[in-house]
Amino acid sequence: MKPIALLTPIIAFTATTGTLFSEHHETGDKSSEVAVAEGKDIVTIASEAEDFATLVAAIKAAGLAEKLSGEGPFTVFAPNNAAFSALPEGTVVKLMEPEQKDKLTAILMYHVVPGRFMAGDIAPMNVTTAGGKEATFTVDGQTVMINGVKVVKSDVIAANGIIHVIDKVLMPPVEEEKE
């Protein structure tokens, strides 16, 4: 079994990019501590963050790097490495296999919502993901969630959208087969 870290080269954080993933601090006026990555797209930002090695490897394995580097705008709920590690053993390696590309793509596109959604602007509502499946935004006080998964870091602004870090991999709902 190959370690996930070998699936994609990782660019080390520099002093200037180390602060990109800030904790979300919302106030009554819905402002937040915002990180801006001038001119960098979502995939570039994720590639520069060591904590997204597995996500970037998955994006590349699914052939989505060009799409997620495109014009957008996209709001990406980005699972960190710990989120992927929490999946049952062998799941990530299996999903990276070429014959699993459609399944991996469906899972990744469930983490992408068309449009720009800053954490302070998210209200309880249903949204349609880029994969065509419904997800639910909820807000509990100052905590923003998607399908009950908490946003642990928010509002990383990319040239083509917004990144919110989550600590669990979202799974798209499985449609029941009709008999």
Topology classification of domain 4-120+151-166? FAS1 domain (2.30.180)
Residue 38 scores a pLDDT above 70: no
**Of 7-11, 35-39, 97-101, which gets the smallest average pLDDT?**
7-11
CB-based contacts of 166, cutoff 8 Å, min separation 6: 77, 78, 79, 80, 83, 111, 146, 149, 150, 151, 152
Provide the 3-class DSSP secondary structure of residue 153.
strand
What global pTM score does this model have?
A: 0.78
Structure tokens at 82: 């710990």
Query: What tens digit of pLDDT does each residue of 78-128 get?
Result: 999 999 999 999 999 999 999 999 999 999 999 999 999 999 989 999 999
Residue 158 scores a pLDDT above 90: yes
CA distance 78 to 164: 6
Structure tokens at 80: 């960190």
Domain range list for the chain: 4-120+151-166
According to the model, what pLDDT value does residue 177 have? 52
